[in-house]
Structure formats: C-alpha cells, structure tokens
Structure 1
Amino acid sequence: MRLVQVLIPEGTRESVLSTLDEQGIDYAVFEEVGRGDFEAMVQFPVPPSGVETVMDELTEAGIREDTYTIVLPTETVVSQRLSALVERFPGLRISREELYARAQDLAPANSTFFAFLILSTIIATTGLLLDSAATIIGAMVVAPLMGPAISASVGTILNDQQMTRRGVMLQVTGLLAAIATGAVMGFLLQQTILIPPQLDITSIPQVAERTSPNFLSLFLALGSGLAGSISIIRGSGSTLVGVAIAVALVPPAATSGLGIAFGLPGVAIAAAVLVLVNLLAINLSALILLYLSGFKPLEAGKYEGVKSSLFSRIAVIAVGIAVLSLVLGAVTFTTFQTQSFERQVQNEFQAGFEEADLPGVELVSVSVTYEPVDILLGNEPQVNVLIAVPRDQEIPPDLAQRWDDQLTAEFDRDVYVRVGFVEAQLSEREEPTPPLGWPSLTDRSGSHLRYPGTIRG
C-alpha cells in the first residue's frame, strides 16, 4: 500500500477532491501555508498499481506535473473503502513516478560505482585463477551493475535522456574498466610467486567456461535482465537479483583482461564477445519487459515519439545480438562436434576391449584432445589411450598406427593416436591363462610385440 501526499494548486481544490470521491478513495485535507500558489495538501492511501492511474486523474483535475508530490510505502492502512480499491487495482506494478525514483537510486555516484566495480573485478579475477566458484559468486555481491543496466532501460521508457545516457555510459566504461583491471592484475601476478610460472590459464575450468561461450550464456543474460526488471517493477529489489546480472558480465570481463595479460588474444576476444552479447541481452530483455508493463513517459503527449525511438533501439540491439550470436552458434556447434567425437571414440575402444576379453589387460582411460578452435583451424584430434598390461605381456608394435587407421576410416578425418602403457600385476589363477590377442576396433584381432612403451601413429 502507498500513501500519496499532493499539494493542491489555488482554485483546483473542489475538482481534486471530487475526483478522489469519484475514485472511492478516503483522504485527508490539510491547509497549506508554506507556499502562496497552493491552498491545501491532500493525502490518501492507494494500492501500488493504482498510484499512476489516480495521479493521471488528478492531473486532469488540475494537479500540475511539477506539483510537490510524495509517495510513501505504508505498513498498515485501515479504511472501509480499502478492499474495494484493492479489487480495483489488483496488480503489483508500481507507478512510473516510483519507478523513476527507484531507477535513480539504483545508479550510484560515479566514484562509488567504479570503486565497487574494481573491487569486484579484483575478487572475481582471484576466483578465476583459484578456480573457485564461491569466490566468484562472492565478488558478484559487490558488483553494482544492476543499477546502470536498469536505469538505462527505465530512462528510455520514460523519455529521460539524461538517465539513459548515464546508464549506458556507466555500463560501457564500467566493463572496460573491469577488463583493464583484470589485465593489470594478471600482469602484476605474473611478476610474483603467487601463481605458477608459465601458467596456462586456459586449463583452469572457470576460465575455460568463459572462453567457449554458447547459446546457454545468452539465456543467462536474458534471464538476468528479466529478473532485474521484474524486481524493480514489483518494488521488490534485491541484492541477489543484482548478482545474476553481475555474473553475466564481470567474470567474462575479468577473463578477457587475463587473456590480455597472458598474451592470449583468443581468450581475450572470446570473453569480450561474451561480455558484449550478455550486455546487449540484458538491456534488450529489460526494455521489452518495461514496455510490455505499460509504462509511459513522465511528460504527457510524448508517448508516440518514445514508442518509435524504443522500437528502433530494440531493433538495433536485436541485430547486434543476432550478429554476435553467429559466434555463439559456431562455438555451440563445434563444441557439440568435439564432445560427440570424444564420446564415440571412447565407446569404440570400450566395446573393442569388452569383446576381445583379454585377461590381465585393462583399458585405463581414453581421452581426446580436441577443442572447438581446432575445428576452425583444421587441426586433427589427438586420441590418448592408456592401457594396463602385465610385465610379460607382448604388445603389437604397430598398435597405435592400426587404431589410427581404423579411427580415420571410421570418422573420415585424420587423427593422431598416442598409446601409453602401465605395468599391471595379477594374482595367480588356477587355470592357465590363454595367449592374449590385442583388440582391433573392427575385427578385434592383432599381432604381438615384445616391449611396452608409447607408440605414436
């Protein structure tokens, strides 16, 4: 429930009070002695979703747009006509005046914004290097990115160009500052003993997650933008909602900075693309939801102009997302190909060993080194096979090459097969062990070799 206080201009008292009576609203009137051009102040309770409608009616009754107005949240209101008002205004949406005030509060002062953002990036960069999801999430609580993202969209909907420009400026400069902070921190850490020399950051799962963006990342950004918009529309803003928006932006920005610091342009570009896609998606979802919620400009008569401008901005953002989604689509498709290839190779080897039934010989592991970038660059996949073999067991001399040829024929692509052996010991058996035959991926047969080792095909 909201308590609205409005000053009544001279000569409009009767029409204003008549309008409130027609709306079935209980009110209290106080004489105004502070300003000469107002004759009274009226205050009345109304549900949050009814504030905008009632204020529009009062504007037609003579309340000027620049009139002194206060909208306060209330704990309890006792009124005989309150239940009828609640039934008349059942929604949970706040008024555009309250939306405007909340959006202004969400965007902090520049110094506060950049201080919290830089600190958040430092914590997030540490979490990336430590491969600590908990640390990264903790950093997101500090990140103040929800305010600019929401205020930019609110400014667009309510036709406040200054709010829109400031929201966009804080988002762009803030994320550039985050990338720069990650780069500086990465460079400084390389000069210390805090990280191992020649650290390969692409081997860190939390970093690798931000360097292979796919369409699921887009859903995260869209959901974050919708959550932020709903929280402010319903007047239930929460720090946890801001965390969702920050997760989509700060960690990939820090990853891009680390890519710059470690001299890995591929990492820097991939993470920067993810940042840009997420930024556009958050703003797009917020704009669409605010428009569908029915908010109109603060100044009457500008709705059509704002509507045209809004559609233009939505179209531009959507085109930008579509273009960048080509990158996401390529990564998604190539990731699916590499994972499918690895799964098929593992199944082939597992089936071959199970059908061969080789006592004492065990397939320890099969892994495939094959990344999406390898598909784009035309690099061949590397299949790494590790086998446990008894000490006196003979091993075919051309085992790796035979598997290489069979995989090449099976998948119609060149592969590189690397076979490693570890010594295995078995307990004695009552029955003599039959001679071992080495499995083929096709006919499950093979020759023998007298020495173990690693064979390259």
Structure 2
Amino acid sequence: MLHLRVISPAETTDQAMAVLAEDPGITHVTLARGIAVAPSGDLIQADIAREGANDVLEHLTALGICRDGAITLTPVETVLSEASKTAAKESPGDPSDAVVWEELLTQTHEESTLNVTFLAFLTIACLLAAVGVATDSPVTIVGAMVVGPEFGPLAAFAVGLVRRDSRLARRSAIALLVGFPVAMVVTLLATLVWEKLGWITLAGVESVRNVDFIYKVGPFSLVVALLAGAAGMLSLVSEKSAALVGVFISVTTVPAAGFAVIAATLGQWHIAFLSAGQLAVNLAGIVIAATLVLVFRPGAGSERGPIGRFARWLRSRLSRNR
C-alpha cells in the first residue's frame, strides 16, 4: 500500500474527504483541521491501495491542492490491519501490476537530469570500460556496466513518450546526447595518455578475446537490449530495485562507448564503428522495450489495457470453475 498525506486548504478539505470516501481502496483516514503551518491548512492522511492511487491523485489535483497545499505519497512496507486487506481486495487489479504515474514521473525526472553527478558516473563508467578493454578484463567491464547511469534517462525517455511529456523526453535526450560525448571525450584524452605511456598498444587490443563480444553486433544484441529494457522498466514500476543490477550487467552501452574510443585512437575504425553500432542498438532496444512495457501494462491502476483485460477475464473464468 501507499501512504497518502495531504495538506489541504480549509475550503477544499470537505471535497478532498469526499474523494477519499468514494474510493473503496482507501482506509486508515485521519483528519486534523488547522494543524498545518506552511502551507497552512488541514492535514489529511490515509493509506491507499497502490492500484487505485492514480484516480485519487487525479481528483485531488483537480481540486487545486497541489497549488495551494501539498500531496505526498510514500510506500508502506508493512501494514497489519484487516481494513487494509479489505481495501486492497476491493481495489480492481493487482498492486504489482499498477503503475502509479506520478511516482514514476518523479523518479524518472530525478534520474534523467543532466548534472555533474550524472556526467561523473558516466565518465567513470567509460573509463572503467576502456581499462577493461585494454586489459581484456571482463570483471572490469562488468564494473563499468554497473556504474553506468544511462538507464535512468532511457527509462525517462520511454515514460515521456508514453505520457506525451515532451519536456521529460527532451530532458532525457539531452542527458544522453550530452553525457555520452562528454564521457567519451574524457576517455579519449585518458586513452591518449595511456598510449603515450605504453599501457595500451595496438597489439594488445587486437588480441582481446574475453571482451570482444562488446563490438560484435548480432541479432542477440537487440534481443538482450529488449529483454533488459523490459526488465528494467518492470523493476521501476514494481519497485523491485534489485533487478536493476541485472539489467545494468546485461547491456553493453557504456562498454561499447569505451571500446569505440580505444579503437578510434588506435586507428581501428572498423571496430570503432561496430562498437558505435552496438551502442546504438542497445540504446534503441532498451527504449523500445521500456515503452512497450508501459503501453501494455494495466493503465491508471485499474484494469484497462490488453494485459489488464486478459487478467480480469482469466480471474473471472477461474472463479466460475471453482
């Protein structure tokens, strides 16, 4: 369940309470009039079934509470209450399938902003990838995959497409279009220094065997990217953050960027272009799969959408057979 906290102006409190009363997925409602200081107003708190959150937030927002008050939503890990079980049961759909759009928009907005931290992580990841290529070390390549922050903007771009949020999509695209070139330029400069020191040689790069998968583009490159993008978006909307680590390790976006830089500095343009192609395939595959996951999941916390309708039909058939 989710915990809803609303600071409502006094003139809209009764309307807000009416919204909560009409939803069967809401319970544990409390009201403290005149207790809020900044902004001033009444404090309303309740627990809400995840699958019904979108409709409630939409109605509360329509009252102007976001403008004159505040709405916060936080996950509740443990609830011991028969009332909460009843609320979850009476809400249509399954909580694991529900996409709380405001929650997802807030999360992806934070992950898609171009800032110093994002550039630092992406640059470090590219440098690690370059070292992994130079030393033919799969372990270092995996480290670069985990450090890379690029999935955040890719997921945000998919959310922007589905929600038709041009600002979010544009912000995400800028983060990627600026972040990767900056990281690759820094990696290029570092690679030139390493080559001057003799740490990287043409013979060494040509003899790599353990990390040559990075630039070998094939049908499974797209398949892996699609699967990773689907798993990554599912982990975001279902709050299964542990699954994101597996997503990071499975895609070769940052390693491909690092390999392209090293190959270019050594004049291996064929490998450089293949690595760039691998990067493009992975980026496109992740966005496509993440978008499809959002499109075909049950919409707005109810059971709209193809998968939601199928799940509702399947449950009705099973209940008839009992």
Pairwise same-fold verdict (TM > 0.5): yes
Tell me if the contact between 1:181 and 1:254 (Cα under 8 Å) persists in the aligned partners. Answer: no
Deviation at 1:33, TM superposition (A): 5.1
The 3-state SS of whatever aligns with 2:240 is: coil
CA distance in 2, matches of 1:2, 1:191: 57
The 3-state SS of whatever aligns with 1:199 is: helix
Quick one: structure 1 residues 110 and 295, their matched pair in 2 at CA, closer, same or farther if it must change by over 3 Å? farther
More helix by share: 2
TM-score by length of 1: 0.58
Moved over 6 A (4+): 35-38
Deviation at 1:58, TM superposition (A): 4.2
Q: Percent identity?
A: 24
Residue 308 of structure 2 corresponds to none
CA distance in 2, matches of 1:176, 1:215: 26
The 3-state SS of whatever aligns with 1:70 is: strand
The 3-state SS of whatever aligns with 1:171 is: helix
In angstroms, what is the RMSD of aligned CA positions? 2.6
Tell me if the contact between 2:129 and 2:259 (Cα under 8 Å) persists in the aligned partners. Answer: no
CA distance in 2, matches of 1:225, 1:211: 20
Q: How does 1:33-112 map to 2 (within 5 A)?
A: 34=36, 39-58=41-60, 62=63, 64=65, 66=67, 67-89=69-91, 90-92=94-96, 93-107=98-112, 110-112=115-117
Residue 13 of structure 2 aligns with an amino acid whose one-letter code is R
User: Could you give the per-residue CA deviations for residues 415-435 of structure 1, whole angstroms, max 9, x where no partner exists?
Assistant: xxxxxxxxxxxxxxxxxxxxx
CA distance in 2, matches of 1:44, 1:178: 45
Deviation at 1:235, TM superposition (A): 1.8
Residue 16 of structure 1 corresponds to 16
Residue 267 of structure 2 corresponds to 263
Residue 120 of structure 2 corresponds to 115
Quick one: structure 1 residues 230 and 287, their matched pair in 2 at CA, closer, same or farther if it must change by over 3 Å? same
Q: How does 1:68-217 map to 2 (within 5 A)?
A: 68-89=70-91, 90-92=94-96, 93-107=98-112, 110-196=115-201, 198-199=202-203, 201-217=205-221
Tell me if the contact between 2:153 and 2:173 (Cα under 8 Å) persists in the aligned partners. Answer: yes
Equivalences, count: 293
CA distance in 2, matches of 1:228, 1:9: 39
Tell me if the contact between 1:202 and 1:208 (Cα under 8 Å) persists in the aligned partners. Answer: no
Gaps of 5+ in 1: 297-457
Residue 3 of structure 1 corresponds to 3
Residue 229 of structure 1 corresponds to 233
Tell me if the contact between 1:157 and 1:295 (Cα under 8 Å) persists in the aligned partners. Answer: no
Deviation at 1:71, TM superposition (A): 0.5
User: Could you give the per-residue CA deviations for residues 421-456 of structure 1, whole angstroms, max 9, x where no partner exists?
Assistant: xxxxxxxxxxxxxxxxxxxxxxxxxxxxxxxxxxxx
Gaps of 5+ in 2: 301-322
The 3-state SS of whatever aligns with 2:239 is: coil
Q: How does 1:374-413 map to 2 (within 5 A)?
A: none
Residue 150 of structure 1 aligns with an amino acid whose one-letter code is A
The 3-state SS of whatever aligns with 1:267 is: helix
CA distance in 2, matches of 1:140, 1:72: 30
Residue 259 of structure 2 aligns with an amino acid whose one-letter code is T
* Match status 1:252 vs 2:256: yes
Residue 279 of structure 1 corresponds to 283
CA distance in 1, matches of 2:48, 2:221: 41
Deviation at 1:8, TM superposition (A): 3.1
User: Could you give the per-residue CA deviations for residues 69-103 of structure 1, whole angstroms, max 9, x where no partner exists?
Assistant: 01122233344321121113332234111111211
Tell me if the contact between 1:222 and 1:285 (Cα under 8 Å) persists in the aligned partners. Answer: yes
Residue 110 of structure 1 aligns with an amino acid whose one-letter code is N
Q: Greater shift after overlay, 5-14 or 143-152?
A: 5-14
CA distance in 2, matches of 1:95, 1:154: 12
User: Could you give the per-residue CA deviations for residues 39-76 of structure 1, whole angstroms, max 9, x where no partner exists?
Assistant: 5221100122221133234456x454545101122233
Residue 50 of structure 1 aligns with an amino acid whose one-letter code is G
CA distance in 2, matches of 1:96, 1:131: 43
CA distance in 1, matches of 2:171, 2:19: 38
Residue 77 of structure 2 aligns with an amino acid whose one-letter code is E
CA distance in 1, matches of 2:139, 2:240: 25
Deviation at 1:19, TM superposition (A): 3.3
Tell me if the contact between 2:214 and 2:252 (Cα under 8 Å) persists in the aligned partners. Answer: no
Tell me if the contact between 1:259 and 1:265 (Cα under 8 Å) persists in the aligned partners. Answer: yes
Residue 58 of structure 2 aligns with an amino acid whose one-letter code is D
Q: Greater shift after overlay, 150-159 or 284-293?
A: 150-159
Quick one: structure 1 residues 36 and 119, their matched pair in 2 at CA, closer, same or farther if it must change by over 3 Å? closer
CA distance in 1, matches of 2:246, 2:113: 16
Tell me if the contact between 2:162 and 2:295 (Cα under 8 Å) persists in the aligned partners. Answer: yes
Deviation at 1:154, TM superposition (A): 1.9
TM-score by length of 2: 0.81
Residue 288 of structure 1 corresponds to 292
The 3-state SS of whatever aligns with 2:252 is: helix
Larger radius of gyration: 1
The 3-state SS of whatever aligns with 1:81 is: helix
Residue 307 of structure 2 corresponds to none
Quick one: structure 1 residues 295 and 68, their matched pair in 2 at CA, closer, same or farther if it must change by over 3 Å? farther
CA distance in 2, matches of 1:95, 1:232: 11
Quick one: structure 1 residues 189 and 13, their matched pair in 2 at CA, closer, same or farther if it must change by over 3 Å? closer
CA distance in 2, matches of 1:286, 1:156: 10
Deviation at 1:10, TM superposition (A): 4.0
